[in-house]
């Protein structure tokens, strides 16, 4: 142990690199989690309140059928489709 020059600085440098990777990784994970929460919240909000996101109040989760909403018109009976 006659040549211990740089032991403290080498240890501090290694600790700093480990801490940098640790913090950077956690920021990455937290950022991804917050992004996913934001996207899910926006999707749920668009389903619950479609008029706020550019949709009509009749669409969304109100149980409106395509026939009543006017988007799709049935052209033949369901029983004839499978005969």
Residue 35 lies in a domain: yes
How far apart are alpha carbons 50 and 71 in whole angstroms?
A: 16
| 25-71 pLDDT, tens digit each | 898 899 999 999 999 998 888 888 877 877 665 554 555 566 566 66
Structure-block tokens of residue 16: 């700093």
pLDDT of residue 34: 93
Which pLDDT value is given to residue 8? Answer: 83
Q: Containing domain of residue 15, as a range?
A: 1-55
- Cα 36 from Cα 56, distance rounded (Å): 25
In a domain, 41, yes or no: yes
How many distinct structural domains can be found in the chain? 1
Predicted TM-score (pTM) above 0.75: no
Is residue 78 in some structural domain?
Answer: no
Cα separation, 53 vs 43, whole angstroms: 10
């Amino acid at each position: 142990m006659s040549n211990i020059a740089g032991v403290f600085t080498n240890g501090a440098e290694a600790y700093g690199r480990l801490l940098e990777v640790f913090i950077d990784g956690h920021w990455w994970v937290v950022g991804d989690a917050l992004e996913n929460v934001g996207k899910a919240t926006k999707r749920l909000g668009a389903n619950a309140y479609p008029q706020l996101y550019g949709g009509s109040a009749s669409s969304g989760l109100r149980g409106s059928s395509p026939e009543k909403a006017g988007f799709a018109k049935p052209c033949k009976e369901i029983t004839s489709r499978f005969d």
